[in-house]
Amino acid sequence: MIPWRGIIEEYRKFLPVSDGTPVVSLQEGNTPLIQAKRLAEQICPGIDLYLKIEGANPTGSFKDRGMTLAVSKTLEKKARAVMCASTGNTSAAAAAYGAKAGIPVYVLIPAGNIALGKLTQAIMHGARIIQIEGNFDQALNIVKELCRHDEFELVNSLNPYRLEGQKTAAMEVCDQLGRAPTMHVLPVGNAGNITAYWKGYQEYYAAGQVRSLPQMVGFQAEGAAPLVRGHVIEQPSTVASAIRIGNPASWQLAMNAVNESSGLINMVTDEEILAAYRMVAREEGVFCEPASAASVAGVLNMNAKKLLDEGSTVVCTLTGHGLKDPDTAMNISPQPLTVSATHEAVKAALNIQA
């Protein structure tokens, strides 16, 4: 068997690369698509539910698919450095792929508001990190302005190569299922990923690889739901820090994806997100980050409103790994018991009879 070569080589004919493009890859992609029977029984009986585990990418999120292409194209055009604003995952991926490429990476993040694991990644990969006393939307505005002067290559999803790379996840889902799902559900923040998936499905359909297209469904967090409310949210707030975004860059493109696919954009509360977050970990053995669980919370929400058809195939993307945000996990969990180091004490704690 030929080993997996990363998304650029595996999906080369669908991507804007040539023989001259220097490929910077960490062998991203080829992530598991897991059938979630136990979860489905609880949240949507009668639905064939799958989880696309994007936390299994090299830096632990779907951002790697876009970053391999964005950084490869940066080298191709001989730009000097890359820059991004981030709620954490984009900066982790930019830092890692920048390190692999040997170019400087500059990241702007909201001070004190990104998950510990993501900050740790950016630091370890040697990115130059600036924390701003503001939110993601403000960081992105500053980065866009700075990148106008060509010295820095912008690697947020406004960079079209990011979405090109990320669309390969939709193609992979089709390859793994042997067809397109009925519905694809994603958490939505800056709205690039739902746009990318729709592009991927459409291109696979046009190429004759699948015979149908899914409905695209996006879920935002209630306190950060500009697409649902139809206006910018100045102070977005949610426990799901990855999608704490009030003015998404790909706003219109995401709405197009939803409308063209007869899909849906809606929101879930933080309580719903955290309940789904815990349920995925306990029922399926998959630890995702809180933002990722917005997709699963969304399925539960849709099922309660009878919006899912019996027998349909629904895929939820779990966008990032749970270990990125240990603080949130520990905050909602009971602390384990500590006892003295004796058989008796452990037996008593486990409630085992002698």
292 binds ligand F0G (CB under 6 A): yes
165 binds ligand F0G (CB under 6 A): no
61 binds ligand F0G (CB under 6 A): yes
**Interacting residue with ligand F0G among 58, 110, 192, 214 (CB under 6 A):** 192
Cα separations in angstroms, 11 against 17, 126, 168, 194, 207 = 10, 30, 7, 19, 13
Span interacting with ligand F0G, options 14-22, 183-191, 279-287, 329-337, rule CB under 6 A: 183-191
Minimum CB distance to ligand F0G, residue 221 (Å): 10
Structure token pair of residue 298: 């969304």
Minimum CB distance to ligand F0G, residue 151 (Å): 21
- Contacts of ligand F0G in 233-272 (CB under 6 A): 242-243
Judged by CB under 6 A, the number of residues near ligand F0G is 22
89 binds ligand F0G (CB under 6 A): yes
Span interacting with ligand F0G, options 124-132, 144-152, 181-189, 209-217, rule CB under 6 A: 181-189
**Residues 6 or more apart in contact with residue 29 via CB below 8 angstroms:** 4, 6, 7, 10, 57, 64, 65, 168, 169, 172
Distance, in Å, from the CA atom of 302 to the CA atom of 310, rounded to the nearest integer, reads 12
Structure token pair of residue 347: 């037996």
87 binds ligand F0G (CB under 6 A): yes
* Contact present, 53 and 318 (Cβ < 8 Å): yes
Distance, in Å, from the CA atom of 119 to the CA atom of 112, rounded to the nearest integer, reads 10
Helix (H, G, I), strand (E, B) or coil at 318: strand
328 binds ligand F0G (CB under 6 A): no
Binding site for ligand F0G (CB under 6 A): 61, 63, 86-90, 157, 187-193, 242-243, 289, 291-292, 319-320
